[in-house]
Amino acid sequence: MRWTRKNRPSHRGPAVLTADGTDIDVEVHLMGHLQPIDGSYRWYDRITAHPAVAELHKSGHKDISIRLPGGEGTQARLAELDSWGNVRVTGSGRPPFPYP
């Protein structure tokens, strides 16, 4: 199956971000794609503006875990903070959302 933006696996909704053993309830929009050159799966998108997540980013804390309801934690990294307070998140390998 060829994935398009409409049928690409994704998740929009609640998630739990974990950093240094502390859980933060967040809202996310995550999607990803298969890298054709190396065959890896890269996933990414945004964590909706949350003061605790913005503070993590500003303090230089980048390595986190994201867990969706009923799922297991997946390693990720905080990338840039946008003008609206949203934080970009990136990951590689199996994403936290259902993936065929």
Number of compact structural domains in the chain: 1
The pLDDT assigned to 2 comes to 46
Enumerate the β-bridge partners of residue 35. Answer: none
Residue 52 lies in a domain: yes
Residue 46 lies in a domain: yes
| pLDDT tens track for 32-54 | 988 889 888 999 999 999 999 99
In this structure, what are the phi and psi dihedrals at residue 43, rounded to the nearest 5 degrees? -125, 155
Per 3-state DSSP, the chain is made up of helix, strand and coil in percentages (nearest 5) of 10, 50, 45
Least confident of 20-24, 67-71, 75-79, 96-100: 96-100
The pLDDT assigned to 1 comes to 38
Q: Contact 96/90 with Cβ under 8 angstroms?
A: no
Q: What percent of the chain has pLDDT over 70?
A: 92
Residue 100 lies in a domain: no
Tokens of 57: 């980013």
The pLDDT assigned to 10 comes to 87
Q: What is the pTM of this model?
A: 0.86
Residue 64 lies in a domain: yes
What's the Cα-to-Cα distance from 38 to each of 4, 9, 76, 87, rounded to whole Å?
20, 19, 19, 27
The mean pLDDT value of the chain amounts to 90
The rounded distance, in Å, linking the Cα atoms of 71 and 97 is 8
